[in-house]
Amino acid sequence: RSKMELPNKKYQVVYADPPWSYNSKKPTTAKRPSAMGISLTPDYYYDVMSIEEIKSLPIKNISCKDSVLFLWGTNPMIAEALDVMKAWGFVYITMITWYKTNSKGMGYWFRGYT
């Protein structure tokens, strides 16, 4: 797997959407690829990274001293997301909820609503 080169500059705002690796057990009645026996785990769609690989990303090298981090994560992986934040040199302050308003309904385990 090739690694993406990070810019050689510092940012006040870091927005990160890491390629988390996790197991998603979708209901077999779903009208999606899982109903046809196709995996819906993230690695079906893109290359994923382990928690340790994500933690080892040199995010400190592109972060200003007082920068803020917006880290996308899933509800079942909050503990891991907090570990990643700490490894990158950030302190947890609060959570922002992505309020999904679309025709897909509540979806798998309420689509992450809090």
- Three-state secondary structure string covering 42-53: HHHCCCCECHHH
Q: Indicate the DSSP class of residue 63.
A: E
From residue 102, give the alpha-carbon distance in Å to each of 29, 82, 99. 21, 28, 10
| pLDDT digit string, tens, across residues 43-55 | 666 788 999 999 9
Phi then psi dihedrals of residue 4, to 5 deg: -75, 135
**Tens of pLDDT along 17-70?**
998 887 655 544 445 555 555 556 666 667 889 999 999 999 999 999 999 999
